[in-house]
Chain A
Amino acid sequence: MPLMATETSRRVCTLSRRSFLTALGGLTAATVFSGSPLADSLLSRDAAESMPLFASAFKKADGNFGIGIVDELGQVLAQISLPGRGHGVAVSPDATRLAAFARRPGTFLIILRPFDQAEPELLTADTGRHYFGHGCFSKGGRLLYAVENDFDAARGVVGVYDISGPQTRRIGELDTHGIGPHDILLSHDGRTLIVANGGIETHPDKGREKLNLETMSPSVVFLDAANGDLLARHGLDASLHQLSLRHMALDANGRAWVGGQFQGALSETPPLVTVFSRDEMPELREMPGAVASRLQNYIGSVTANAAGDVIATSAPRGGQTLFWDVANGTFLGTQAIPDGCGVAPIDQGSFLISDGNGGLSYVSDAEEPAEILARPPGFSWDNHMAAFG
């Protein structure tokens, strides 16, 4: 089943793509750099060309971590090393800046300007805080919101950073009204921040140990982006209190599709995907039992296609990526990708899926085999991939 309601309008522009690659020096070895301006190749990119690019954290076979930028054929155009394992990448509204966050409980945040002759800016979390791996930009791109752990108070916060000046400044923080916040989105109108409070308490002194599985209470909150006021807070039924609400994507209607990770018994198969909106009750989404039983109750990332009418939810422990129809909330099908987790929209009807075995796969139809576009040797793509450019 094609992953869109109407015929695919995939952007195929062979000629411009070719000239783009020419400008980049073709598929020559990607520029490896650390701490220097992002690949020279990207500097010569013609802004008029609407070639989609993708950014993802990776681990290399030599044990090093970084962020890679790939094109829609899965070729690595640029890479930058990170001081530790990364996680999510946020993209500014004008797609000129990227923010890469440390995986929890890491404390680095790197801001990249891939198309400028600019050094990456490395920030460290405030004392008493660490990052959770996700963030987002404000509508105008002046502010960056980073989800953080106030670990001594076991309280989630959103760090607010002003990135408009020559140096980024942390100018405040907002309460997430929950524990273990993970993913964060900005509403389509830019006025509301949506935060998934995973509900799991952790403390850096205890590494990644989960400290409150018996009492955890995940939620999705809607915050006023202007002042942090709590506009709405939605939880799930008490029977689902161990379903950690973690990753999200907005559909075309502005509702947040949230993928969960169930901390209870593996013998249970609770619903893992829920749709939240500010003023309505959460809606659980159902998938066929035969699919649910293969996922080990774990959704790794959630992404919408370009039109926001198809949602993809990856389940790396089950080696499956699931697709959902936004209009009627139904399950569209699943695609087998071993250790696949990062998912980014290519266009209206297709997704790029990255996996831990280095593969980058093109999926446009849940019933056709995924097309493996590339597998850069030595790369393990980490949990998330973001589209930009």
Chain B
Amino acid sequence: MRRLVIAAIAVCFSYPAASEEFNPPLEHFIADYVRPAVAEFSQSSAKLPDAVSAICAEEKKATISGFYEAFTETVRDFSRIHFLRFGPLVEDDRLSRLAFMPDPRGTGMRQIRKIYAAQDPAVLSPESLRDKSVAVQGLTALQLIAFNKYGEVVLGSSDETRDFDCGYATAIARNVASIAAKLETEWADPKGYSAVLLSAGPDNERFRTSKEALESVFNALVTGVIIMRDQDILPALGSSAEKAKPRRFPFSRSRNAIIYLSGELSGIRDAVNSMNLKPLMSESDRWVLDTLGFEFKNAQSYLDKLTPPLRLNFGKDGSYNLTAALAVTLNAIRDMMAQEVAGALKLAGGFNALDGD
């Protein structure tokens, strides 16, 4: 009987311990990565509407570079959060409304042409813009109307379309800033999605254990690496150097391809590092994080050797081989995260691969 009582007590105390075991890495991730990253995105995108207004009021060197800087900083900070494909970023189609990617068939451009042909007034205010297709609402759409294919800022430069260009660009800029502000607010809210991640247990409809919560976050980071390689790099590499399509690099039209790729790489790296996973691993497994760090450094070194703008310079100075090597390294990073790191933490991954049918 005594043994039974002890067993019962052990069960009572062990359940909460088990359900919260992985809360520390999640707390670090939220406090040290997500909140600062979405705050930075919110701050940079908040400058975008004024930068659009300035270039539209008077197109001169200072306003052109001001707009370019504001757009680039917004893209850079977006690249560091786009892989957080859960919670606030996927609600209300926010991620697709911020940037419509991938878009291999040029859907965004096609729809924008239609908007211009019809001079559709609905795109001239953020309120009515949000009822339009997600492909014409965000940074990818702004890039299409504000830059030409040589990476030059053309916003405000056309006497013929300036009013419409500027009205539309302002609506996009305000739309992006508004979504970014909501992301910052919702992630800062201790009762928001942070609470969903941190309160795993029988009363939490989404996560029964903190391990499940960490799995969902960690798998999103692995997906981020897959997106960077398969979606952001391989289409540009094509099947050979002769068939390369550098315009397929994300944000290459605005000369921001390397900035975007560097941002997503460093973002995923910083997100992993923020979790301080080593204490959760056995001594014999901890090397995997060091090796992973080494591979992230390798990947960044390839990016550092590329000369911007990638769309114009791709193919020169060994850039094709450097980018191909980057893709190989990303594959290694993915395997290391999905197999070694997840394995060391006993995290389950792969929706279809897992417990298949």
Contacts and interface: CB of A to CB of B under 8 A. Distances in A.
A339 interface: yes
Q: Chain A's interface: helix, strand, loop or mixed, by majority?
A: loop
B351 A372 contact: no
A25 B107 CA distance: 14
B134 to A, nearest CB: 6
A27 B86 contact: no
B190 interface: no
A61 interface: yes
Contact of B104 (A133, A246, A340, A373): A373
Interface in B94-127: 95-96, 100-102, 104-105, 107, 110-111
B105 A373 contact: yes
Contact of A339 (B85, B89, B350, B355): B350
Nearest to A75: B107
B227 A377 contact: no
B230 interface: yes
A103 interface: yes
B356 A316 contact: yes
A61 B134 contact: no
Interface in B311-338: 334
Contacts of A376: 96
A370 B104 CA distance: 11
A231 interface: no
Interface residues of A, number: 52
A29 interface: yes
A73 B103 CA distance: 9
A261 B227 CA distance: 28
A244 B85 CA distance: 35
A358 interface: yes
Nearest to B196: A62
A240 B322 CA distance: 46
B235 A29 contact: no
A190 interface: no
B350 A61 contact: no
B133 interface: yes
Nearest to A368: B239
Nearest to B85: A377
A357 interface: yes
28 contacts: A25-B133, A26-B111, A26-B132, A27-B111, A27-B133, A28-B134, A29-B134, A62-B86, A63-B205, A63-B206, A73-B105, A103-B357, A133-B357, A300-B352, A316-B356, A317-B350, A338-B226, A339-B350, A356-B351, A369-B239, A370-B230, A371-B104, A373-B104, A375-B102, A377-B95, A377-B96, A378-B86, A383-B352
Give 3 closest A-B pairs by Cβ, nearest first: A356-B351, A378-B90, A26-B133
Interface of B: 85-87, 89-90, 92-93, 95-96, 100-102, 104-105, 107, 110-111, 131-135, 205-207, 216, 220, 223, 226-227, 230-231, 234-235, 237-239, 334, 350-353, 355-357
